[in-house]
Amino acid sequence: MNKALTHQELHNLAMNHVGKDLEKRGFEFVAINSKLKKHPQFVCIDKNNQYFFVIVRAVILPKNPNNYDVVWMETFKNHARQKEAKVLYAGVGLGNPDGNDLPIYLNEEYLIEYNGIQVIETNFN
């Protein structure tokens, strides 16, 4: 029988996609935190030694993976400013190709909607 992925496993799947994208972009990983609701998931540096806090959010399609909690993000941006880090957001939509009401199963095909990494401005308005 097929095993449906747990919330943690879906989050890990999203993190794998984002981690590969970060590697392709030349980021070096300083820390990785794959626990649900622990932020950031990735702490990276670029070639100029600029720190980046990367937030990964997995959602089940048809929810829009590009949307995030704006109020919560303001608190996180404040934390990033204190650490002189920039904030990146990566929303990943996952779904079952046979229907939105079906779970995503281990070792089976799945849909993914990933529009890349969004830079979240940390400057004060």
Domain spans of the chain?
Answer: 7-120
pLDDT at 125 (0 to 100): 52
* CA gap 12, 19 in Å, rounded: 10
User: Model's pTM, two decimal places?
Assistant: 0.93
Burial class (CB in 10 A: 0-12, 13-18, 19+), 73: middle
- List per-residue pLDDT tens for the chain, 125 residues long: 689 999 999 999 999 999 999 999 999 999 999 999 899 999 999 999 999 999 999 999 999 999 999 999 999 999 999 999 999 999 999 999 999 999 999 999 999 999 999 999 887 65
pLDDT at 124 (0 to 100): 62
Q: Does domain 7-120 have CATH number 3.40.1350.10?
A: yes
pLDDT at 122 (0 to 100): 82
In this structure, are residues 76 and 55 in contact, taking their beta carbons and an 8 Å threshold?
Answer: yes
